Amino acid sequence: GEDVEQSLFLSVREGDSSVINCTYTDSSSTYLYWYKQEPGAGLQLLTYIFSNMDMKQDQRLTVLLNKKDKHLSLRIADTQTGDSAIYFCAEIRLYSGAGSYQLTFGKGTKLSVIP
Partner 1 sequence: DSGVTQTPKHLITATGQRVTLRCSPRSGDLSVYWYQQSLDQGLQFLIQYYNGEERAKGNILERFSAQQFPDLHSELNLSSLELGDSALYFCASSPTGGESSYNEQFFGPGTRLTVL
Contacting residues toward partner 1, per CB under 8 A: 29-31, 35, 40-45, 48, 88, 92, 94-95, 97-108
Q: If we measure between CA atoms, which residue out of 45, 67, 43, 63 comes closest to residue 55?
A: 63
Tell the smallest beta-carbon distance from residue 95 to partner 1 (Å). 5
**Pairing mode, strands 100-105 and 85-95:** antiparallel
Output 79 or 92, the one with its CB closest to partner 1. Answer: 92
When the beta carbons of 12 and 94 are compared against partner 1, the nearer one is 94
**How many Å apart are CA 81 and CA 13, to the nearest integer?**
9
